[in-house]
Amino acid sequence: MQKFATLFSKALSEKISAVYSVELSPEEIADMLEYPPDSKMGDVALPCFKLSRTLRTSPVQIASGLADGLEFPEASRIEAVSGYLNAFISDGYVITSTLKGLVDEGENIGRLTDGVGKTMCIDYSSPNMAKRFHIGHLGTTAIGNSIKRIYEFAGYKCYGINHLGDWGTQYGRLAVAYERWGSREEVERLGVKELERIYQKFYIEAEKDPSLNDEARAAFTKMENGDEELLAIWRWFREISLKEFMATYNLLGIDFESYSGESFYNDKMDAVVREIDEKGLLVESDGAKIVPLDDYNMPPCIILKSDGSTIYATRDITAALYRKKTYNFDKCIYVTDAGQSLHFAQFFKVIGLMGYDWEDQLVHVPYGKISVGGQKLATRAGNAVLLTDLFDEAISRVRAVIEEKNPDCENKEEIARKVGVGAVLFNQLSTGRIKDINFIWEDALNFDGNTGPYVQYTYARTCSILEKAGELAEPSADLELCADEKEMISTLARFSERVRQALEEHEPSVISRYLLDVCHAFNRFYHNCPILRASDEEKSVRLAICQVTRNVIGNGLWLIGMEKTEKI
Ligand code: ARG
């Protein structure tokens, strides 16, 4: 339903219900109202056939009776057309109710109260240590951050969790690789890049000498049993990795409430495995311990491998139980690529089978795969675009544009950073999350058309108009609104509806697309309706529109994790 017409519809239903006080409540009437797609049919319409049975009169008679008899100054016109009562909202009413209401919401515009008193956890980004951050991680990082903000905006208490991939046999391999081919100096000098190099070397060498794999497994078992020497090196690698990840998080303005990764659950898994066993769910299969899920059309969930070690799923089950206990969440969301959907479905089911009634509070939010220039992403194929390179490139391109167009601009660096990062984020968040993305440098760095910079630019434009305008007056009700003004008001009035849709669908692109609608409408309005040169009455309304536009774009940008800038 259009918020534009919400108050109007409410008032109209009350009026109509008063005519038929005995038979129909205002709520019943409100349920019957429709919003004609074509504005020639009114802003709100009552299909009178819905009343004809109760009133034992024909729809045509009901409609014309109402059109003639109803006193309703909020409408500029009320017409009966073939059994429909069509009502047109008066401009004065749009200004004093809708526009004024939006102005009064101020910087809280669009906020919801759905989540007040509720708690959610969101597990996102969660990269694996000892690997550099590449565009494969952009989806979970950007989408997760935006979903977290949308929930916060809806009143939820949110805990962002970075479930770092910092445990598993691969860190046994890394330990072996470091011992054989690594050096402290090189790791200190090159950081994660060097860890990646020795890790890749492990694979090449293990092809020739498979006994390396046994060595790696043994090393990881030692780590699981608390070997201090190996753990000290592992901690060091973890720290180096986190430091590099933090650089990107800082650039994006992201922080997590918890960085407890997979290793955090090392000493908590025994009890959980025992619990699964005690509940009669654990079955032995080829030496491994599994929970069969045939009844749910899924392959079994492996809990312990045949060598007795735990796996990804064991840690996730343990983490879910821990989070429930620690945060008492109403919802726990996991953002990863769609390739992991089965893993989540499996371990959610195990939680349910363990007898926990909150299985359905666990939600996997998948997103599509990313390829580069049509090719599958693979670190080993060397086509994994690093996030630091991507953002650096975006920032330096914006810097060059500013240098050229506006060399005297203050805060060049800050603006270049905000706009460069924004371009990349908006590009990621403007298509539905489940769609596969083929990463193309030129698209991610495009600043024209439907892009992040275009939205930031429109925001800056509203700021500069408002700055020039100075003190704002109350919007005058004695004005006939033009089509662009009406379009603008009705677009702005849809913001909170869009926020709710984004929340329900876990879909940041709903916000990005809406922002483009707002910017297009605003730029049309700005082009067709002079603001500062207008009469006082027009000016009061147009500036109010500008002000609400600024607040809506400002909040919308925040919701998708972008920064705003008052000058570009
Ligand atoms: N580290 C994993 C990866 O890079 C993502 C972890 C997602 N979170 C979770 N609780 N499983 O694919």
Count of Cβ atoms closer than 10 Å to residue 405 Cβ? 9
Q: What residue type is assigned to position 388 of the chain?
A: T
User: Within 10 Å of residue 209's Cβ, how many Cβ atoms?
Assistant: 9
Give distance in angstroms: CA of 133 to centre of ligand 1: 13
Nearest alpha carbon to residue 150 among 114, 187, 186 = 114
Count CB neighbours of 250 within 10 A: 10
d(CA 173, CA 233): 13
Q: How far apart are CA 250 and CA 536, in angstroms?
A: 45
Q: Can you tell me which residue has the tokens 């970075």?
A: 162
| Candidate of 132, 135, 159, 163 to mutate for ligand 1, largest count of ligand atoms within 8 Å of Cβ | 163
The secondary structure of 410-431 as a DSSP string is: TTHHHHHHHHHHHHHHHHHHSS
The structural domains of the chain, ordered by start, are 2-89 (3.30.1360.70), 168-241 (no CATH), 387-559 (1.10.730.10)
Three-state secondary structure call for residue 210: coil
Atom of ligand 1 nearest to the CA of 165: 1
> How far apart, in whole angstroms, are the C-alpha atoms of residue 364 and residue 335?
6
Q: What pLDDT does residue 311 have?
A: 92
Terminal-residue alpha carbon distance, the chain: 36
In this structure, the chain runs to a length of: 568
Residues 6+ apart with CB under 8 A from 508: 142, 143, 146, 147, 150, 429, 433, 502, 559, 560
Cross-strand partners of 362: 332
**Which residues does a 6 A CB cutoff place in the pocket of ligand 1?**
123, 126-128, 163, 165, 316, 334, 336
- Cα 473 to ligand 1 centroid, rounded to whole Å: 52
- Residue nearest atom 3 of ligand 1, based on CA coordinates: 127
Q: List Cβ neighbours of 442 (8 Å cut-off, separation of 6 or more).
A: none
Closest protein CA for atom 4 of ligand 1: 127
* Closest to 102 in 3D by CA, of 521, 454, 497: 497
Q: Which pLDDT score, from 0 to 100, does residue 441 have?
A: 78
Q: Which atom of ligand 1 is nearest to the CA of 344?
A: 11
**Rounded Cα distance, 412 and 107, in Å:** 27
Helical (H) or strand (E) element with 502:
helix 495-505
Task: Report whether 536 contacts 473 (CB < 8 A).
Answer: yes
pTM: 0.93
Burial-class residue 320 by CB neighbours within 10 Å (0-12, 13-18, 19+). buried
pLDDT of residue 372: 78
**Could you tell me if 379 and 134 are in contact, meaning their C-beta atoms sit under 8 angstroms apart?**
yes
Q: What letter represents residue 559's amino acid?
A: L
Continuous segment of H or E residues that includes residue 336: strand 331-337
**Tokens 């950073």 belong to residue:** 417
Q: How far is CA 469 from CA 464, 473, 525, 540, in A?
A: 9, 10, 17, 10
pLDDT reported for residue 380? 57
Distance CA 307, CA 155 (A): 46
Rounded to an integer, what distance in angstroms lies between the CA atom of residue 358 and that of residue 324? 9
Closest CA to 92 of 474, 479, 537: 479
For the chain, give percent helix, strand, coil, nearest 5: 60, 10, 30
The Cα-based distances of 488 to 1, 74, 165, 309, 420 in angstroms read: 17, 20, 47, 60, 28
From the CA of 262, give the closest atom in ligand 1.
10
Q: Measure 126 CA to ligand 1 centroid, in angstroms.
A: 5
C-alpha distances out from residue 200 to 170, 204, 205, 298, Å: 11, 7, 9, 33
Token couple for 459 = 């925001």
Query: What is the C-alpha to C-alpha distance for residues 474 and 253, in angstroms, rounded to an integer?
Result: 36
Mutate to test the pocket of ligand 1, among 238, 262, 340 (most ligand atoms within 8 A of CB): 340
Separation between Cα atoms, residue 120 and residue 156, nearest integer Å:
7
List residues bridging with 44 in a β-sheet: 87
CA 110 centroid distance within chain = 15
**By alpha-carbon position, which residue is closest to atom 1 of ligand 1?**
165
Averaged pLDDT in 10-residue chunks for the chain of 568 residues: 71 90 83 88 92 90 93 92 94 92 96 98 97 92 98 98 95 96 96 95 96 95 93 97 97 97 96 98 97 98 92 97 98 97 98 98 95 72 81 93 89 94 94 89 79 95 95 90 94 96 98 98 96 94 98 98 92
Distance CA 194, CA 204 (A): 16
pLDDT at 416: 95
